[in-house]
Amino acid sequence: MIIIPAIDIIGGKAVRLYQGDYRKKEVVGNDIFDIAKGFEKSGAKYIHLVDLDGAKKGKLVNKKIILNLAKELTIPIEVGGGIRNYKEVEELINHGVSRVILGTAALEDEEFVSRVVRDFGDKIAVGVDCKKGYICTRGWLEESNVHYIEFCKRMENIGAKNIILTDISKDGTLEGTNISMVKQLKEYVSVNIIASGGVKDYYDIKKLNDLDIYGVIIGKALYSGNIDLKEAINLCR
C-alpha cells in the first residue's frame, strides 16, 4: 500500500477543511511548492492535489500552480477538483499530471468517463465522495441518492481502474478512517482502491495496509504532526 500525502488548495494556499465544510477552513501552508518538495524529500511516491476552488466552480482555478508542480516534482501527482471536460483532462495529462481525478463528472456523465478511461486508461481515477454511504458532488455541496457500492461497480464496468473512496464525515476530523466502508467496497470490486478521510494514526494505516488496498491519502494527520510521513511509508514496506 502506498502513502499519498494530500494538498488541498484554496486561493493558492494549502488548506484543510473539516468534514468538507468550506466555512471550516484552516490554512496549513502558504507555499504549496515547499510542502510538495517536503513530501517528495520524505519519500512519497505520489502526491494528491485537490483544487477546492475548482471543485466549487466546476473548472480548475489553481491550474498554474498544479502545472508548475507537475513540471518541477520528480514524483507523480494526481489532481482533482472541477475537472469536467475532455480538453482539461487531456491538457493536464499532456503537461505531466500522472492521474486525473473525476468526481462530479463521473456521476453526471458516464459517457464522458467511459471516453477518458478508454483514451487514458489508468491515468484516470474516480473520486467517490460519500456521506452516509451516498455520493456527494460539486465540492461535496450536493448529495445524491446513489449508493457508493452501486456507483463503484458501474465505474468498474466502464473500465475505471482507480477509485478514491472518501467518507466526508471523517475528512479532516482526525477521528479515524471508515475501515468497514473500505472493507465492504473491496468485496464488490477488484479495482485499485485508495482510502481517504479521517486517518489519524499509525494504527489506521496498519488496518488499511492489512486490507491489501492500493493506497491511502493522508492530510490533516501529517499537518498536525500525528503522523510522520517517513515512518508511515516504512510501515507499509
Convert the pLDDT of each residue in 1-15 to its tens digit: 999 999 999 999 999
In the block, which residue shows the cell 477543511?
17
Candidates 8, 51, 167, 204; catalytic one? 8
Convert the pLDDT of each residue in 159-215 to its tens digit: 999 999 999 888 778 888 999 999 999 999 999 999 999 999 999 999 999 999 999
Convert the pLDDT of each residue in 123-156 to its tens digit: 999 999 998 899 987 655 567 889 999 999 999 9
Active site residue 167: no
Dist CA 6 CA 63 (whole Å): 16
Does domain 2-235 bear CATH number 3.40.50.300? no
Q: For residue 114, which of 124, 104, 129 has the smallest C-alpha distance?
A: 124
Candidates 31, 51, 109, 129; catalytic one? 129
Domain range list for the chain:
2-235
- Tell me what pLDDT residue 63 has: 96
Dist CA 102 CA 83 (whole Å): 6
Does residue 33 surpass a pLDDT of 90? yes
Active site residue 119: no
Q: Report the chain's C-alpha Rg in angstroms.
A: 16
